[in-house]
Amino acid sequence: MTTYAYLGPAGTFTEAALRQISNKDDTLVPYSNVTAALDAVREGKAEKVLVPIENSVEGVVSRTLDELAVGTQLVVTAETTLPVSFSLMILPENSGKPITKIATHPHAEAQCRTYIAKNYPQAELIEMSSTAAAASALKDGNYDAAIASEIAANNYGLKILAKDIGDNTGAVTRFIVAQKPGATPKPTGNDRTSLVAFIGIDHAGALLEILTEFAKQDVNLTFIQSRPTGRELGHYHFIIDAEGHIDEPKVAAAVAGVRKICEDIRFLGSYPRVGKSN
């Protein structure tokens, strides 16, 4: 049995994604934000954590990237993806009442703008920490409707007024499983290696130097994102996902090359990749 922390409350897309990969006897514990969920593992309250890292429409989850890069080190050991579908929901007893305030997470609002503009152009949008938090707090009476997942409506006994209201019906979110550093999963032939490359003071060609090390080894990159270190202006790091496993010679050589030209690197793990096969 494994104890998992995850971005809560109950009813989030993160919970739905976690239920795809966890066992029925595992313990799933929700936390109010990404930092708290990751800290649960760092502090020994949970063995593993599942958090979102990127969405096919809205892009990266900055908090997850920043925590993995500069927080107390954790490593990624698995990933999963989940199609994202949004619904508009209300308290059953409020059927027929006007909707003037709608609560949801900013990513959900961004993915449902066309529906909102067409059907509720005058509604005030209220930002919440998660879509499930918006659904669970409907009973407080501070707003009239929430945009969340269908599982949230089921969990909190809400009435769904409209399903699949997202502008992009093919939206997918990728989630990662992280834990304290330990043994790296063995190569499967379809893996992803993640790392953070810390450059010195920013200079012309810094990113090209990093990319060249992977290109020389014919290693394809599937993800790259620059983030400020927070130390001072001009200090950046790059979060990188590469195809392949650190135990593969060409990946190991590329990472070794990056290590030589960077101020520091942080290995975030090699783990089975969901989707495309190499």
Over the Cα atoms of the chain, what is R_g?
Answer: 20
Instruction: State residue 147's pLDDT score.
Output: 97
Q: Identify the CATH number of the domain defined by range 87-162.
A: 3.40.190.10
According to CATH, the topology of domain 3-84+171-179 is D-Maltodextrin-Binding Protein; domain 2 (3.40.190)
CA distance 264 to 213: 15
pLDDT of residue 233: 65
pLDDT in tens, 2-24: 999 999 888 888 999 999 999 99
Three-state SS letters, 196-244: EEECCCCCCCHHHHHHHHHHHCCCCEEEEEEEECCCCCCCEEEEEEEEC
278: pLDDT confidence band, cut at 50, 70 and 90? very low
- Is 87-162's fold the same as 191-272's? no
What are the residue ranges of helices labelled H in the chain? Answer: 13-21, 34-42, 62-70, 106-111, 113-119, 131-136, 150-156, 206-216, 249-261
Q: Is the CATH number of domain 191-272 3.90.1260.10?
A: no
Are 265 and 259 spatial neighbours (Cβ–Cβ below 8 Å)?
Answer: yes
Q: Is the pLDDT of residue 217 over 60?
A: yes
Nearest in space to 150 (alpha carbons), one of 163, 168, 166: 163
What pTM, to 2 d.p., does this model score?
A: 0.84
Q: At what angle do helices 62-70 and 34-42 cross, to 10 degrees?
A: 30
Percent of the chain with pLDDT over 70: 95
- Enumerate the domain spans of the chain: 3-84+171-179, 87-162, 191-272
What percentage of the chain reaches a pLDDT higher than 90? 70
Q: Is the pLDDT of residue 204 over 70?
A: no
pLDDT digits (tens, 9 = 90+) for 117-159: 999 999 999 999 889 889 999 999 899 999 999 889 998 999 9
CA atoms within 13 A on the CB side of 89: 31
pLDDT at position 255 is: 96
